[in-house]
Chain A
Amino acid sequence: MTTSTTSRPLLEVKGLSKRFGGLQAVSGLDLHVARDEVVGLIGPNGAGKSTAFNLISGTLIPTAGQVVLEGADITGKAPSAVVRRGLARTFQSTSVYQGATVAQNLLRGALSTLPGSVWTHTVTTRARKAALQRVAREVDEILELSGLGPYRDVAAGGLAYGHQKLLGVAIGFATNPKILLLDEPAAGLNGEECAELGRLLQRLRTHRGISVLFVEHHMAVVMELCHRIYVLVQGRKIAEGTPQEIQSNPAVIEAYLGAPDYAHA
């Protein structure tokens, strides 16, 4: 649809499929995310949204299909390698380094942006010192943006649930991604926290133009933030479009609420 009109999309997923034994969890999924775009992936429980995330981020290896980031094929690459190419993901449950401070959590997120590898990181060179100072500044910036600044030196395990979820998103952002995949960032958050999350995403995007692809059940969040939405049911894409189109799409309504009685009549 929009593929031909704009330049090449940032992330392209073609014919992605995953089979677990007899279960076809995801079949022939096509999707794309353009630069600076926020795209939602919704669907009832068990639709294969999280599996699709795991396939795209490299946690699972697809049975068939291709994941292309900026024109380069990243299918089946290790998650850590995919992150270094600019695609980061967060987890459905809270995932932080419980014993480390908030600042340290963000530092660990930013480690992959340092030049060299763990084999050379023991040695402190002048260049590395400069890089570390840059990382320290970025950490401060993210603390500021995310509103986690006051908790800087608090152990992440001691944060409230909502703050831990924010920190999870902030760690993903600290890897300096071009596209961030968020797995149910609003799950378990109350209304105020949801609004705060939405504002955080907007701030992060205006601060550094990144694309976002996210799975979410919280429809208010999805409809407010997304430019486009894909709907997945039983591993298949049944609809895509703008929030308005999706809200009035009969196939989507049927998938979520069941067919109205008169449809059978």
Chain B
Amino acid sequence: MDMSKAVLPSIPPGQTESQSLIRGAAAPQPLGVVGLVGLAGLVCIPFLLNQAFTYHLAIFICINTIVVTSLSVLARAGQISLCHGALAGIGAYASVFCVKGLGLPFAVGIVAAMAAAGLAAYLLGRIVLRLQGVYFVLVTFAFGELLRLVLLEFGDVTGGANGITNIPPAAIAGYVFLDKPAFYALAAVIAIAVLAFFRGFYASPAGEAVDAVGENPALAESSGIGVRRTQLFAFTLASVFAGLGGALLAHYVGYISPESFNMHLSVALIIMMVVGGRRYLLGGLVGALVMTPLPEFFRGAVESQDILYGVALILMLRFLPQGLAGMRLPRKWRKQP
């Protein structure tokens, strides 16, 4: 029944830094000077290099960080979704509809994107979250395809296969984020805000419930943490931030089509999550940092790109199931009595 374990081998999570008081009762631990300086340095790199291409990559890394970090909430609750890209698409289309179609401000479009994606996931989750493991994965895959076909079919609203072009760029209080450095600054600020939010989230009782359900659903259910209720919450929360990422993407690229949010995106997000480390707050960031620039190195070998990805994923799951963010952990674990 529990096929998710077969897809992604279970790992002993937690037990990283939170030796303090009980996590839920305490504020999240400070990041530490090293962490903050490292993060600040990372954010500054594109400004130092000051190349259009670096900005472009960095913007994608920010967007991927947001979406992958949100996807790992669902993973930590014990479910894998193959429609996270599609949910980002719902956000993108919702924002574009508000900003381009109705002429509303960009900020309203972002809120609409998050609300639309969250609502879609809530309604879908209400129905399909009684399924577990691989069955849930299959239904989310089907939902992604369904959404793609719907977007293609209703061409007068969605632009059909041609997509929507000339999407207005992001603008806040009259300032238009037209050039790449400006949009990068915006994306970086939002990505950091999202990471800060999830940092607080995982230290809250809700985050504790998500981890409990993911780690031992039977025990969680029989100690009063409803598995389905918690997974529905995780699915909705994950989708809200997928919608945010989708909207940012739409306003950055200026063009969306059903193919921008197809299954390949969903799979790429899962790969990033697994490579980065799906049990770690910074797993999404690490995954996005490593995997976003990778296709650029393989430009010359487009045909074999997917094969390389597949091999990389298998090796990753075999030798580093906790992802890159968990690399330091084994040594710490051996110290345990």
Q: Which A residues have a C-beta under 8 Å from some C-beta of B? A: 57, 59, 78-81, 83-84, 88-91, 95-101, 103-104, 107-109, 111-114, 117-119, 121-122, 124, 128, 132-133, 135-136, 139, 153-155, 157-158, 171-172, 174-175
Contact = CB atoms under 8 A, between A and B. Distances in A.
Contacts of B206: 118-119, 121-122
Q: Which of B24, B200, B208, B229 has its CB near the most chain A CB atoms (within 10 A)?
A: B24
Contact of A91 (B23, B25, B219, B225): B219
A122 B201 contact: yes
A132 B212 CA distance: 17
Nearest 8 pairs of A and B residues by beta carbon: A112-B224, A83-B224, A121-B206, A80-B226, A99-B12, A136-B25, A121-B205, A108-B212
A133 B25 contact: yes
A83 B222 contact: yes
Contacts of A91: 218-219, 222
A96 B223 CA distance: 11
Interface string B49-88: 0000000000000000000000000000000000000000
A101 B14 CA distance: 8
A107 B23 contact: yes
B337 interface: yes
Contact of B208 (A59, A80, A107): A107
A100 B222 contact: no
A225 to B, nearest CB: 22
A100 B230 contact: no
B48 interface: no
A104 B14 contact: yes
A136 B22 contact: yes
Contacts of B220: 80, 108
Q: Which of B11, B14, B22, B200 has the most CB of A within 10 A?
A: B22
Nearest to B16: A99
B215 interface: yes
A175 B224 contact: yes
B321 to A, nearest CB: 13
A99 B237 CA distance: 24
Contacts of A128: 205
Interface string B299-337: 000000000000000000000000000000000000011
Nearest to A107: B22
Interface residues of B, number: 41
Contacts, number: 142
A80 B218 CA distance: 10
B19 A101 contact: yes
Contact of A104 (B23, B204, B223, B224): B23
A153 B17 CA distance: 11
Contacts of A99: 11-15, 215
A121 B223 contact: no
20 contacts: A78-B221, A91-B219, A99-B14, A100-B14, A101-B14, A104-B23, A108-B220, A109-B223, A118-B229, A118-B230, A118-B233, A121-B205, A122-B204, A132-B25, A154-B336, A155-B14, A155-B15, A157-B12, A158-B336, A158-B337
Interface string B1-45: 000000000011111001101111100000000000000000000
A100 B215 contact: yes
Given A100-B215, A136-B25, A79 B14 contact: no
Contacts of A158: 336-337
Contacts of A57: 222
A121 B225 CA distance: 12
Counting chain A CB atoms within 10 Å of each CB, the highest count among B23, B200, B210, B225 belongs to: B225
